[in-house]
Amino acid sequence: MSDTDQKYQSSIPLDHQYKELPMPDKWDMTDQEMIEKSESFLSLMKKRHSVRDYSTKSVPREIIENCIKAAGLAPSGANHQPWHFAVIENPEAKAKIRAAAEEEEKTFYSGRASDEWLGALEPIGTNESKPHLTTAPWLIVIFAQRTSTDRNGRKFKNYYVTESVGIATGFLITALHNAGLTTLTHTPNPMKFLNQLCDRPPSEKPEMILVVGHPAENATVPEHAKWKKPIDEIMTVF
């Protein structure tokens, strides 16, 4: 072993060193059973909609926690898990987030966004008003962590942060939908105000606000949102 290798090995905490474990969970299904499960999951996901009209009906915290636990199982670069989920139920905190978000959105819609960008949003029907931020029972602000600290207080750099947080967010949205809840991804621009409101360090980057709850009785979705690209446009088989 070279001096460089020895130096590298000595810098790795014991709980970070590579160890093998037998694969703990294995599926044992026939091809037909797998086809049926994939069809069932596809049917479930076809019912997922981004909704802006929410009921004030409460949602048990246990559901939110279970779904975030599921998100925490997502794969990540070097298994660093570079994410943090700030979960907000308090009405006053939600009101502060709404006020700050709408202020940024007013600037966006009144000049910051290009005509092309606004044109792309036209079929979705969005504007600077964001009542769902206070009506929905839960907001989840998703932060990306450029660095982390291990159990021994050692600070280290995270890798593939954007990709890892994106995968975890997909897990979270899917878990919430599977639990019977509705979500909306909201990305006010810029979002740095969320660090202060959620008491997160400046080194963390807020990626989005996820609105979570039950749809209102009169909830609608944009017709445009029902159009999805066909399989021959999103898949190529070699």
Q: Cβ atoms within 10 A of the Cβ of 168, count?
A: 25
182 assigned to some structural domain: yes
28 assigned to some structural domain: no
Total number of domains constituting the chain: 1
Q: Could you tell me the CATH number of the domain that includes residue 203?
A: 3.40.109.10
157 assigned to some structural domain: yes
108 assigned to some structural domain: yes
105 assigned to some structural domain: yes
121 assigned to some structural domain: yes
Query: Model's pTM, two decimal places?
Result: 0.90
Percentage of the chain surpassing pLDDT 90?
73
Note down the domain range covering 98.
Answer: 51-217
Q: How far is CA 24 from CA 17, 20, 21, 27, 66, in A?
A: 19, 11, 8, 10, 21
pLDDT in tens, 11-24: 455 566 788 999 88
189 assigned to some structural domain: yes
33 assigned to some structural domain: no
Q: Cβ atoms within 10 A of the Cβ of 167, count?
A: 17
What's the confidence (pLDDT) of residue 15?
61
Percentage of the chain surpassing pLDDT 70?
93
